Amino acid sequence: MKPLLLVFPGMERLAAALAAELDAERAPVALHRFPDGETLVALPPDLDGRDAALLVGLRDPDRQALALRFAAVTARELGARRVGLIAPYMAYMRQDARFAPGQAVSAPIFARFLEEGVDWLTTLDPHLHRIPSLDALFSIPARRAVAAPAIARWVAANVPDAALLGPDGESGQWVREAARLAGLPFEVLTKRRSGDFEVTLSAPSARLARTHTPVVVDDIASSGRTMARAVALLREAGARAPVCVVTHAIFAGDALEVIMAAGAARVVSTTSLPHPTNAIEIAPQLAAETRALGWGAAPEG
């Protein structure tokens, strides 16, 4: 019996690509929202002995996470042999410290919540900064796919005269690797955030900005203000219109409009979260890490 991807609404395109990579079948996770805000989850009724994986986009994590847990428990009750989670975007990873007295440190709390429901998980470039690795966060098998090679290939093919720019120290890990793989120069700025929509960045190097096409690379565009500020500073430094590349296309509210209005030539994203900017396919990387966890392999003994 082929393994089964249980697909949350919105993730159908990535599900099709993953199913082809993993030789898996697909079935929708049906969500019904009651008028009072509760959610009813429904799965295919017979999962007896099957390897199942939930494919979830956590763009709206507070709404999705409870449904995810209901689905995971239900899959086990319906007989699934093992239940995994493929969550290309791992929410809540940025709150990895108590930045002010009394704050929740959400990353490990959310990790506990997820791992109580599933046997393993695969994600893509989680925002690991003060927490060194997925293994330091999860006690279930957890693997991290990496977008840098796909980003490097896309940049090399589409912006051959690029210089990569990371808007903050946290983006340095992805920018350095993509630049190394594409053989391109790079620069990493420093950022200070004073509010959800207020960020200050250090000035980019005018020389690099004038001799190359800047490509701003970050893992997440949420409010879009980090990307927009980087774009604005590059334009002020005399650069041509920058291209923006983001791994997880959250783009809350007016984020995309704000980035374009700042002077971006183009914004593209990986297929981690469905969005009109999707241009960089990451299904092969997610499938490889999922296979490495033994998903779909015949039961032992």
Q: Which of 173, 254, 161 is nearest to 217 (CA)?
A: 173
170 binds ligand R5P (CB under 6 A): yes
Cβ proximity to ligand R5P: between 102 and 195 the closer is 195
Q: Which of 190, 175, 169, 192 is nearest to 99 (CA)?
A: 192
Binding region for ligand R5P (CB under 6 A) out of 12-20, 70-78, 136-144, 162-170: 162-170
Burial of 266 (0-12, 13-18, 19+ CB in 10 A): middle
Within 10 Å of residue 51's Cβ, how many Cβ atoms? 22
> Is position 226 an interface residue for ligand R5P (rule: CB under 6 A)?
yes
**Smaller CB separation from ligand R5P, 213 or 226:** 226
Judged by CB under 6 A, the stretch of 36-44, 63-71, 152-160, 219-227 that binds ligand R5P is: 219-227
Half-sphere exposure of 103 (CA within 13 A, CB side): 11
The answer to whether 122 contacts ligand R5P (rule: CB under 6 A) is no
Distance CA 179, CA 19 (A): 31
Site for ligand R5P (CB under 6 A): which residue of 222, 271, 272, 285?
222
Interaction between residue 125 and ligand R5P (CB under 6 A): no
Q: Residue by residue, what is the 3-state secondary structure of 65-87?
A: HHHHHHHHHHHHHCCCCEEEEEC
- Give the interface segment with ligand R5P, choosing from 69-77, 108-116, 207-215, 221-229 (CB under 6 A): 221-229
Measured distance CA(169)–CA(202) in Å, rounded = 11
Q: Of the two residues 135 and 196, which places its CB atom closer to ligand R5P in the complex?
A: 196
> Where does residue 128 fall: left (phi above 0), alpha (psi -120 to 50 degrees), or beta otherwise?
beta
Quote the tokens at residue 194. Answer: 């004073």
- Binding of ligand R5P at residue 220 (CB under 6 A)? yes
Q: How far is the CB of 38 from ligand R5P (least distance, A)?
A: 30
* Sites for ligand R5P among residues 189-208 (CB under 6 A): 199
Number of residues that bind ligand R5P (CB under 6 A): 15
Tell me: does residue 225 bind ligand R5P (CB under 6 A): yes
Q: Cα 137 to the chain's mean position, in Å?
A: 17
Is residue 171 at the binding interface for ligand R5P, with CB under 6 A as the rule? yes
- Whether residue 237 contacts residue 247, with contact meaning beta carbons closer than 8 Å, is answered with no
Smallest distance, ligand R5P to C-beta of residue 220, A? 4
Interacting residues with ligand R5P between 77 and 96 (CB under 6 A): 94
Least separation, in Å, of the C-beta of 129 and ligand R5P? 7
Contact between 29 and 7 under an 8 Å Cβ cutoff? The reply is yes
Told to check if 219 binds ligand R5P by CB under 6 A, we report yes
Looking up tokens 């008028």 gives 35
How far, rounded to the nearest angstrom, does the alpha carbon of residue 220 sit from its chain's CA centroid?
7
- The DSSP code for 298 is P
Could you list the active site residues? 191
List the one residue from 221, 264, 268, 286 that touches ligand R5P (CB under 6 A).
221
For position 177 contacting ligand R5P by CB under 6 A, the verdict is no
Overall size of the chain counted in residues: 301
Percent of the chain as helix, strand, coil, to the nearest 5: 35, 25, 40
Q: Does 248 bind ligand R5P (CB under 6 A)?
A: no
- Binding to ligand R5P by residue 290, rule CB under 6 A? no
CB of 89 to ligand R5P, least distance (A): 11
Judged by the rule CB under 6 A, the positions of this chain that interact with ligand R5P are 94, 167-168, 170-171, 199, 218-226
